[in-house]
Amino acid sequence: MPRVRGLKNPERKQNMSKLVIVESPAKAKNIKGYLGRGYDVIASMGHVRDLPAARLSVDIANDFEPKYAVIKGKENFVKDLKKKADNADYVYLATDPDREGEAISWHLATLLGLDLKDKNRVTFNEITKNGVKNGMDAPRQIDIDLVDAQQARRILDRLIGYKLSPFISQKIRRGLSAGRVQSVALRLIVDRENEIRAFKAEEYWSIDAKFTNPPERKVFSASLSTKNGEKIKIENKEQSDSVLSDLDGESYVVKGVKKGSRKKNPTPPFITSTLQQEASRRLSFQARRTMKAAQELYEGVEAGELGTVGLITYMRTDSLRISEEARAAGNEFITETYGEKYLPKKPRYFKSKSNIQDGHEAIRPSMPKVTPEQVKPYLTSDQYKIYKLVWERFIASLMESCMQETMKIEIEAGEYIFTATGYTVKFDGFTKLYEEKVDDEKNDSASPLPALKEGDELKLKSILGNQHFTQPPARYTEASLTKALEENGVGRPSTYVTITSTILNREYVKREGKQFVPTELGEAVTNLLKDKMPNIVNVKYTSKMEADLDKIDSGEKNYKDMIRLYYDDFEKPLEKAKEEMQGVKIKLKEEETDEICEKCGRNMVVKVGRFGKFLACPGYPECKNTKPLIFRTKAKCPECGGDVIEKKTKRGSSFYGCSNYPKCNFMTWDAPSDEVCPRCGKSLFKRKGNVLYCPDTEGCGFTKPAPRKKKTEE
């Protein structure tokens, strides 16, 4: 039972004070609404205790004992929390239902002096009245295996980060970092870039024709496939012209018609990685934006007559399991809305991977009958788009398969055979509601082919030789990188967002549209690690480590044994690398600018120091001139006419000010554009809502919609 003080009469339970600790304020408010009087629900705001960042905080000599401390700035909160816990009759730990949440509950229990044998841990897979009630009705002990699994990852990440980061910083550039998962993600991006560089395009040609079947006028397409029964390969224009010459004057006769059918099944409901991938493909959302909206939908929103309710289940999961109650509710909605024929005769069950945490469900609507349109007026644009995606995917996963009738036609022309393929939809099934978008969508025409039979003579409308070139592999996008990491067993649902943000913030990669391109710095880090610390960037090794760490969850492995094993693998090559590279410094190519050194006339270069980037003369040590790095925009200051320059806050956010500061105090968070006001000639700035405006609001006040950027294909 949860901790109880002075309980003599069990019937007094309803009148006792109960403290419930969750992670976020939004969730605290919504859960409080469901629990009512007698409950005090407060938020821990994430972790309250961690390994202090100022030192290693792991006692390697003492069997890797972690040295936890209250997070700086949370001391007063913990003091107040202890008072509340001491005055409460019951204390419930209701942090998120995953490995990280379990660890936060354990840290809270330790700080508050709770008995780890008490059943004071509750979890909510969904923030609804029933979800909260079910959670409160089933308290359990803290799962120490889950806690140990989180501790193993945290300690290994700290050991690797604190030992390896100084090494690469010393050898390449100050302030760099390396990590257990981020280094593998970076390697994937660098290796893909090397594949693209090494790729040599090969020319090939296709012979494409258009036909009609008299007396019908409908035109359909076919492509040349074989010559004398063998697949034809056309490598250049000369070969293409030779084939076209052979075909000149030939008659085209249907040699065969093959009909068939195929079944297309729906995709499973979302897990964290697939939600991020689909939101990227369909909505062009970065993973952080997707997870922010999903978190809000899980924690609860005010939804009119529904009240404040969590609209989706927990959004950090790699399980495909759904509850039978949710299945029944979804099936009922499908039957009422689309009819019984859209419900499969046999329920469809999706199988999760073997190494997943199956403590909670796939991401699904908490109330399947609540459609996106019903709650649209109460949601932000992002919340609505993510809820619509989750809802449609879940309902579609329960629906009948799509049935298609396929047709393949072979057309004979002398020694050559052309083929045409197409399909028609016999029954739309789940596609009536939703179809998954894929990265490399092919133009699979749904147009039916004309009714043809063997021996029909066709009329040739046109025939052309078309030149093509083989294409290199595509660069990774956030969606495809997440997919690659997941398929290789690297990282977990809670880490995908931080992996991509870390390698971007460290300037190991940059974005070009949606694609990740490694920088010279990122390639230097990867090459150094591949040479000296190969295990750290080995995909299979990291995947094995992840799988072994998962065994701690189920109690199969001891977490200290696991840390000891992998730390030994890590420490020895690192010490060897340090010895081999004594006095060695990897020199990066310096970025030259148009800024001229006023002391010696050289073009200044960008350097990175303790406080960030700055300009320096490449003539050092003869010339030691340095100056701040200023990013000049094309805009002019609306107050004095000086250049508008971009500046950075301590947290890295951009703002804009006048280059004549402090004489001119103009400053704005709105980005300047390249356009000028058609009325007064001053530079236009862009504010929220995608609006360009003239800053001279008193004398002018001109505004207009900003031109929208064209979407970049993945």
Catalytic positions, please? 314
Side-by-side strand order, sheet with 691-693: 671-676, 683-687, 691-693, 703-705
Longest pairwise C-alpha distance within the chain: 103
β-sheet bridge partners, residue 57: none
Distance CA 193, CA 559 (A): 37
- Torsion of Cα atoms, 234 then 237 then 242 then 243, to 10°: 40
Q: DSSP assignment, residue 400? A: P
Distance CA 653, CA 640 (A): 25
- Torsion of Cα atoms, 572 then 575 then 579 then 581, to 10°: 100
> Which is it for strands 252-264 and 457-469: parallel, antiparallel or unpaired?
antiparallel
How many CB atoms are closer than 10 A to CB 453? 10
Euclidean distance between the first and the last CA atom of the chain, given in angstroms as a whole number: 53
Residue carrying the six token digits 């409308």: 461
Query: What sign does the dihedral 50-53-54-59 (CA atoms) show?
Result: positive
* Nearest alpha-carbon partner for 506 in 166, 173, 170: 173
* Nearest alpha-carbon partner for 508 in 198, 286, 161, 190: 190
Distance CA 54, CA 447 (A): 64
Distance CA 323, CA 482 (A): 27
Distance CA 231, CA 227 (A): 6
Query: Is 660 in contact with 652 (CB distance < 8 Å)?
Result: no
Distance CA 331, CA 321 (A): 16
Q: Percent helix, strand, coil in the chain (nearest 5)? A: 35, 25, 40
* Nearest alpha-carbon partner for 121 in 82, 94, 85, 150: 94
Query: Is 366 in contact with 311 (CB distance < 8 Å)?
Result: yes
* Distances in whole angstroms, Cα of residue 495 to Cα of each of 154, 309, 418, 499, 525: 12, 27, 50, 6, 21
Distance CA 666, CA 655 (A): 11
Distance CA 245, CA 286 (A): 52
Secondary element (H or E) of residue 134: helix 129-136
Cis peptide preceding 97, ω within 30 of 0: no
Distance CA 207, CA 232 (A): 10
Q: How many CA atoms lie within 13 A of 624 on its CB side?
A: 1
Distance CA 451, CA 28 (A): 64
Residue carrying the six token digits 């200051």: 637
